[in-house]
Amino acid sequence: MAILHIRQCSKRFGGLVAVKDLNMSLAPGDLYGLIGPNGAGKTTIFNLITGVYTPDEGSIELDGKTIHGRKPSAIAKQGMSRTFQNIRLFKSMTVLENVQTARHMNKKQTVFDAIVRTRSLKAEEAEIRHEGMELLKIFSLDTRAHELARNLPYGSQRRLEIARALATNPKVLLLDEPAAGMNPLEAIDLMHLIQFCRDKFHLTILLVEHNMKVVMGVCEKIQVIDYGETIALGTPKEIRDDPKVIEAYLGGA
pLDDT, tens digit, 9 for 90 and up, residues 86-98: 889 999 999 999 9
pLDDT, tens digit, 9 for 90 and up, residues 200-251: 999 999 999 999 999 999 999 999 999 999 999 999 999 999 999 988 876 6
Integer Cα distance of 131 and 243 in angstroms? 47
The better pLDDT of the pair 49, 103 is held by: 49
Percentage of residues in the chain having pLDDT higher than 70: 93
Predicted pLDDT of residue 99: 95
pTM over 0.85: yes
> Mind listing the domains of the chain with CATH numbers?
4-79+170-250 (3.40.50.300)
Predicted pLDDT of residue 247: 86
Predicted pLDDT of residue 30: 97
Integer Cα distance of 78 and 64 in angstroms? 11
Q: Mean pLDDT throughout 26-40? A: 94
Percentage of residues in the chain having pLDDT higher than 90: 75
Predicted pLDDT of residue 114: 63
CB 213 within 8 A of CB 230: no
CB 111 within 8 A of CB 186: no
Predicted pLDDT of residue 115: 62
Q: At a CB cut-off of 8 Å and minimum separation 6, what does 215 contact?
A: 33, 35, 207, 209, 222, 236
Residues facing residue 11 across a β-bridge: 19
- Distances in Å between the alpha carbon of 101 and those of 90, 116, 129, 192? 9, 20, 10, 26
Predicted pLDDT of residue 181: 85
pLDDT, tens digit, 9 for 90 and up, residues 171-184: 999 999 999 888 89
pLDDT band at 253 (very low <50, low <70, confident <90, very high): very low
